[in-house]
Each structure stands twice: as C-alpha cells, then as structure tokens.
Amino acid sequence: MWVRFIISSLIIFFAGRRLPKYVRIISAHTGIGESYLGLIALGAITSFPELVTSLSSSSLLRDPDLALSNILGSNIFNVTIIAILFIWSGEMFFNKGDKGNFLAAFLGILMTTLVGLAILQRSKFTILGICYLSWLLLFLYLFSIRWLYKVDRDKIPSQAEKGKIGNIYLKGIFSALLIIIAGYEASFSCKGIANAMHWESSFVGGLFLAVATSLPELTVCLSAFKIGSPEMAIGNVFGSNIFNLAIIFPIDLFYPGSIFSSVSRYQILIALEGIFLTILAMAGIAYRSNRKVGLIPDGFFMIFIYFFGFLWMFHNMKK
C-alpha cells in the first residue's frame, strides 16, 4: 500500500505542476479569466478523487461517515494550503480588485454552514429520495458558476504565456486524466493503510483519506503560485471546496434515505473548523491585497489549528 501511495503521489506531482501553465495559456486564448478557470475548471478536476472515493464510500461501502468526512476534511486541508502560501510569500499577495475568490469563499462558508445545520438536525425530509439540503447545495453550486463568471468576465486575461492552443488542450486533458487516476489510486491506498490501523470512519475520512484526495489541490496550487498566478491558486482552493460540497448531492442520491440522518455529530466540529480556517484565510488575503508584507504569523496559526484538530480527532474519534 505504501509503494502504491508513493507512486500515485509522484504522478500527481509531475502531472499537476504543468496544469496551471496550461490553464494560463487557455485563459489568454479564450479571454476567460485565470481566477474563474481556477475556481471552476481546476476546482472540478482536482476534486475528482473526492468525488470517486466519497461515492464509493456511500454507494458500495454504505459508510456515510467516511464519505462526508472525506469531503469536509479535504476542504480543511485545502484551506491549509493557503496557509502554506502565506508562509511562502513575503510580497503583495493578491489583486485588490479580485472579487471572485472572496465570493467563492463566502459561498463555501454558507454551504458548509448548511451542512452543519443538516447534521445537527439529522434532516430526514427528502425530495425524490434526496435530502432537501442536498438539492440546495447543488443549486448553490450551479448558481455560483454563472454568478462567478459575471464577476470575472470583465478582467483582461494574462498574455504572459503563449503556445499552440490545440496541443495545450491535449496536454491539459492528459494531465487532468493523470491527476484523476492517480488521485483515485492514492486515496484508496491511503484508505487501506488507515483501515489496517482499525480507526473510526470519521477519523480516517477526515484526516488520512482527505489528505490523499487533496494532493492534486496541493500540487496545482504550489505550481500556480510559482508561475506568478496566486489568484489561480486560491481560486483552485475555494473552487474545489464548493465543488466538494456539491458532491454531497450524488452521495445522497446513491445512499438510501438522507445521508445527514446517518452520520456522526463529530462531523459538525469538522465543519466548524473548516469555516474558521476559511475566515482566517480570507482575512490574510485581504490584508496582503492592500500592502506589501513580510513574515506574519497567520499562516503558522492556521497550520496550528489544523494540527490541533488532528490531535483532537485522534484522541476522540478513533475506535
């Protein structure tokens, strides 16, 4: 399992490191902003491992805790990637006029809050066999696609990268497929390692499986930041998070009854940690969009919160 996980992780790294460059070229040729492509295209591509593993957990394993904690835990890890970028960067971090990422972050907070309320209420009311809140999450995601496009459409795309557009599309699709396949392999190998330790599903999904399925986001974000596109990097994080929350709809579809009525209430605490980290990330981005900064401790504080949650779950959620 360890060898399988390492090989899959290496494939994700080498495939993901080129994907932001391809997206930047596509942005220049199509006129679609980098932030929007990061939010929608990269967010969906890098979230495919979460989709596959959560659907498998719900429909095949009938383990709703593993499915939902994988989504919420992945969102927490994704936001922690921003903390890594905070530590890495010592310069002006964001375009002050870039509203799309902030709107996506607010939407992610709203959707996560709805998930937490549904878990707290153990909502059983369904429409066509799917919890009404799952329908609402899907609607919010589909609405956000159009809404964020309107916010982003007036931006001038980057002209820094050029290339033969036909080859770029093929290379981008190939890289995306590699990330999807390798992410699938990495997530299931990590699940096998964690299950061998006999830990509870919420703990396994929220930590080990979540990190494994978030490897594409980590690689793509670091690569985007390296080529000078922080908006694309953060767009990938927030776009991935709202896509992950929309995944709850198909999970609920393939699970008998409402998934929210069957999961552990520990999931609420995972959701709250995700909301808190997102607020800290937004505050850090806003601060860096107004001034050139040196090393400030917000990134370290976010990482501390993440690992504190890890330790708490280790002591309270393992079997």
pLDDT per residue, tens digit, the chain (319 aa), is 667 767 777 777 677 666 666 766 776 666 666 666 767 777 777 777 777 777 777 777 677 887 888 889 889 999 999 888 888 775 555 555 467 788 889 999 999 999 999 888 887 777 888 888 999 999 999 888 877 776 665 554 444 444 466 677 777 778 778 777 776 676 667 667 666 766 665 566 556 667 777 777 787 788 777 777 777 788 888 988 999 999 999 988 888 878 888 888 778 888 999 999 999 998 888 877 666 555 677 888 999 998 888 777 666 654 4
Tokens at 247, concatenated: 């995944």
List the Cα angle 65/71/75 in 5-degree steps: 140
pLDDT, residue 138, reads 93
Mind spelling out the 3-state secondary structure of 122-147?
A: CCCCEECCEEHHHHHHHHHHHHHHHH
CA-based max dimension of the chain: 54
Strand, helix or coil for residue 109: helix
Distance CA 133, CA 82 (A): 28
Instruction: Name the residue type at position 127.
Output: I
Strands, E assignment, 122-223: 126-127, 130-131
Distance CA 121, CA 119 (A): 5
pLDDT, residue 156, reads 47
Q: What's the fold here for domain 2-317?
A: A middle domain of Talin 1 (1.20.1420)
Q: Where are the domains of the chain?
A: 2-317
Dihedral through CA 199, CA 189, CA 304, CA 119, nearest 10? Answer: -60
Distance CA 256, CA 218 (A): 33
Query: What's CA 257's distance to the chain center, in Å?
Result: 26
pLDDT, residue 130, reads 86
Dihedral through CA 169, CA 175, CA 178, CA 183, nearest 10? Answer: -120
pLDDT, residue 42, reads 74
Tokens 């010592």 correspond to 90
Q: What is the pTM of this model?
A: 0.81
